[in-house]
Structure 1
Amino acid sequence: MSDIIEAYLKEFLKDSKHIEIKRSDIADHFDCVPSQINYVINTRFTQEHGYQVESKRGGGGYIRILKIQLTSEADQIDQMLELIGDQLSYRNGVNIIETLIEQQIITKREGRLILSVIEKSVLHTISNQDQVARAMLLKTFLHQLKYELRSSI
């Protein structure tokens, strides 16, 4: 169900920079509970995926989903580097890699290779601070990718 709701919302975002929805309207449309809509928005429309979400609660409340428009691939990488910080959960790492693939900055094969390196079981055998190690590895990859993009111009 989550995939269907995500696809439905992304269909509207294809032709627009943002959409405004009422959580209850979307829940009624899909005959599901409003918390299902929250789940989709909180997991599929994150900054790591290239979206910003604003909401207003109450009777006239809404949820606004904005597609973040960056001017270049290097800008996208800079934003991702900023999001990572000193620690990175596996889920957020996956989100970043999925976004790089979706934006065609890296291939699916490259994404799978990176994911294999930042996987919990791999990092835990190396360090008991797997979130710190994951952040360092992904930042190193993104810095190299940014360097490659700039040197190819």
Structure 2
Amino acid sequence: MASISDIIEKFIKDLMEDSDTVQIQRNELASLFNCAPSQINYVLTTRFSREKGYEVKSKKGGGGYVKIDKVEKLNKDEILHILNKKIDKEITYIQSKMLIKWLMDINLINKRESKIILCAIDDKSLNTPIFGLNDILRAKILRNIIEQLFNIEE
């Protein structure tokens, strides 16, 4: 069964089917779905972020609204910025999986590439005897793979 967040996300994406932009009123949407406006905020921040290909602008006040725009693919500088934010000196396998899924969601890698990357950074592949070393190695390997895939030089 779909969660309320999934339903709201689908509703907004359906509104955007014929256009790259949509303007909604948070309170009206909350009323339509019989939820708190904070639930709408949650969906907007988690499902319609820049990383997922959207830009959200809001105007508060009496005639306030939320405007959601689909944006073009991220450029190399934006990818590098996000990678630096997501991959620090270490990264867990779960965090890596989420990052790889994001790269697939924005069509920067395909399913096959994702499987190869995940296999390379899996704990079974790294298998170090020192606690915490897997996460450090994983971050270095993941950063190197992504930099090479997108020809990003620091």
Whether TM-score is above 0.5 comes out as: yes
In the alignment, structure 1 segments of 5+ residues that lack a partner are 148-153
1:45-77 Cα offsets, whole Å, 9 max, x none, are 11111111111111111111111113xxxx545
Matched, 1:62 2:61: no
Deviation, 1:100, is 2.5
Aligned alpha-carbon RMSD (Å)? 3.3
In the alignment, structure 2 segments of 5+ residues that lack a partner are none
Aligned to 2:101: 98
Whether contact under 8 Å (1:87, 1:135) holds in the other structure is: no
Q: Secondary structure at the match of 2:19?
A: coil
Aligned to 2:34: 31
Q: Residue 53 and residue 115 in structure 1: after superposition, are their counterparts in 2 closer, same or farther (change >3 A)?
A: farther
Q: Secondary structure at the match of 2:67?
A: strand
TM-score (normalizing by structure 1):
0.68
Q: Residue 86 and residue 6 in structure 1: after superposition, are their counterparts in 2 closer, same or farther (change >3 A)?
A: closer
Question: Higher helix fraction: Structure 1 or Structure 2?
Answer: 1
Deviation, 1:104, is 3.4
Aligned to 1:83: 82
Whether contact under 8 Å (1:20, 1:62) holds in the other structure is: yes
Deviation, 1:4, is 1.0
Aligned to 1:48: 51
- Rounded Cα–Cα distance in structure 1 between residues aligned with 2:11 and 2:71: 18
Larger radius of gyration: 2
* Count of residues paired in the alignment: 138
Deviation, 1:97, is 3.0
Aligned to 2:16: 13
TM-score (normalizing by structure 2):
0.68
